[in-house]
Amino acid sequence: MARKIGFYAMLAYVVYGFLVYGYLFYFADTSLPFEYQGSRADPATFMNARELMLSEEYSKIRNLMFFLSAPLEWLIYLLILLLGLSRAFKKWGQETTKNKFGQAAIYVIWLSFFTFLLTFPLSYLSYNLSRTYNISTQSFPSWMKDELIDFWVSYGMMLVIVFVLYWLINKSRKFWWLFAWLLSIPFTLFIMFLQPVVIDPLYNDFYPLKNKELEGKILELASRADIPAEHVFEVNMAEKTNALNAYVTGIGTNSRIVLWDTTLNRLNDDQILFIMAHEMAHYVEKHLYIGIAGYLLLSLVGLYLTARVMNWAIQGYGKDLKVGDIGDIRSLPLFLMIISMLAFAASPLSNFVSRYQETRADRYAIEMTDHPEAAITSFQELSQAGLSQVNPPLLVKIFRYGHPTMLERISRLEEYEIQKRNREAESP
């Protein structure tokens, strides 16, 4: 039975891959609706022929890799169970030490190593794709360093989570999912508090914005929005990417407004001020805290469903999965597989909420800066720098886009620009 499950799982993955490939490369419609052709949202008005071609190629391949990556993770976890590797990881831990935490540490390191090794080819292809299309400027040693930092940061957090999780499962078989969720609340807030000052600096160098004149303009915007900001930070991303970005991260006293140096190098002050006003809108409208609340709500539902599905799977297929009990650490790949599946299934909902918040932030930013020309050109520059599709396929938008498409964002700004001209024309 285990062989049959493994065979059909791999067959399903291959069929799924061909279906996704067919959709993205042959059936998905990315053409611009007639009414937007020739408008400022039309990429033909701000990209040359080569950029248009590269944008389509790069986006299709990148989207294909996205849709292949999550199911590949599920397949790897399933095969680790079916092939008895999870049982072997536990055995190696027990043979090495009698300490329960030590056994968990050895199990998690082997599981992390195998999943890292098996997903590495796809990660490398993604890196190489970005290099080929001149999105990434990062050298292989630098990229590998970031991958290893990811590995050890993820390993450290997973070890703590796994040890506590299985302690809870063995203490309360019925309500472990609820207790795990309750503990996840302070853990999530603690990680978000540490992110800007402990985790992010592991990857890049952050420092106060060097352009003090621009920083003064940004802080003046922050003052108008009643944001208690004292500094704007820039991060050295030019050695890694040509893409542009800016964001707000952290909570409480560790909150930071961050600009990539690529953004500073490519955009003018008015464009940067629009982007900063957009980021400030997230603070003003409490989007970060709404996002945390939404995440915690989804995680509550997710943990409950995970508990139900794990019990069902072990009762019906425990022998094939080499797992006899939900409280056995050998069930961890099953737990991670179900969590990943539920997160993927929930992504359309979370992306929908995020796109709504981003639309609100765009509206706030244009009303604060009242500079539609700078806003439109900033989005055009973002599209060029990242070779982004202006009008992506529907499924790509649903599963990948936490922001409105560039077609939607620029066309709304054009409407605002027309309304502004009409107001100016009507005023005496």
Which residues neighbour 221 within 8 Å (Cβ) at sequence distance 6 or greater? 273, 276, 277, 280, 368, 369
Reported in sequence order, the residue ranges of 282-322 that DSSP labels E, i.e. its strands, are none
Q: Which residue has the tokens 């190098």?
A: 265
Residue 229, pLDDT score: 67
Classify residue 351: in a domain, yes or no. yes
Strands 256-260 and 246-249, how do they pair? Answer: antiparallel
Kindly state the tokens that stand for 249. 């991260």
Q: What is the pLDDT of residues 231-250, one digit of tens each?
A: 788 888 888 998 888 877 76
pLDDT-based confidence at residue 67 (cuts at 50, 70, 90): very high
Reported in sequence order, the residue ranges of 227-371 that DSSP labels E, i.e. its strands, are 233-235, 246-249, 256-260
- Per the structure, the count of domains in the chain is 1
pLDDT-based confidence at residue 252 (cuts at 50, 70, 90): low
Indicate the pTM of the whole model.
0.90
Q: What is the pLDDT of residues 290-340, one digit of tens each?
A: 988 999 999 999 999 999 999 999 998 888 888 988 999 999 999 999 999
| DSSP sequence for 15-71 | HHHHHHHHIIIII---PPPGGGTTSTT-GGGTS-HHHHHHHHHHHHHHHHHHHHHHH
Classify residue 268: in a domain, yes or no. no
From 73, 234, 328, 362, the catalytic residue: 362
Classify residue 274: in a domain, yes or no. no
From 73, 200, 215, 279, the catalytic residue: 279
> Does residue 320 have an active-site annotation?
no
Q: Is residue 387's pLDDT more than 80?
A: yes
> Does residue 328 have an active-site annotation?
no
pLDDT-based confidence at residue 253 (cuts at 50, 70, 90): low
282: annotated binding-site residue? yes
User: What percentage of the chain carries pLDDT values higher than 90?
Assistant: 59
Classify residue 350: in a domain, yes or no. yes
Q: What is the pLDDT of residues 349-370, one digit of tens each?
A: 999 999 999 999 999 999 999 8
What count of other Cβ atoms lies within 10 Å of the Cβ of residue 8? 10
- Candidates 70, 43, 46; CA nearest to 59 is 43
Classify residue 259: in a domain, yes or no. no
- Candidates 341, 344, 320, 340; CA nearest to 330 is 320
Classify residue 349: in a domain, yes or no. yes
Classify residue 222: in a domain, yes or no. no
- Candidates 222, 345, 328; CA nearest to 281 is 222
Residue 395, pLDDT score: 94
Cβ atoms of 406 and 41 closer than 8 Å: yes
- Candidates 317, 315, 311; CA nearest to 4 is 317
Classify residue 22: in a domain, yes or no. yes
Of 68-72, 239-243, 408-412, where does mean pLDDT reach its minimum?
239-243
Residue 288, pLDDT score: 83
358: annotated binding-site residue? yes
Of 57-61, 195-199, 242-246, 277-281, where does mean pLDDT reach its minimum?
195-199
- Candidates 100, 25, 27, 7; CA nearest to 65 is 25
Residue 254, pLDDT score: 66
Helix (H) or strand (E) holding 207: strand 206-208
Q: What is the pLDDT of residues 176-211, one digit of tens each?
A: 999 999 999 998 888 887 777 788 888 888 888 888
DSSP state of 267: S
DSSP state of 260: E
Q: Is residue 35's pLDDT more than 90?
A: no
pLDDT-based confidence at residue 62 (cuts at 50, 70, 90): very high
Q: Is residue 409's pLDDT more than 70?
A: yes
Q: Which residue has the tokens 């060097």?
A: 210
Q: Which domain holds residue 23?
A: 2-205+285-426
Residue 201, pLDDT score: 83
DSSP state of 166: H
The per-residue pLDDT of the chain, averaged, comes to 90
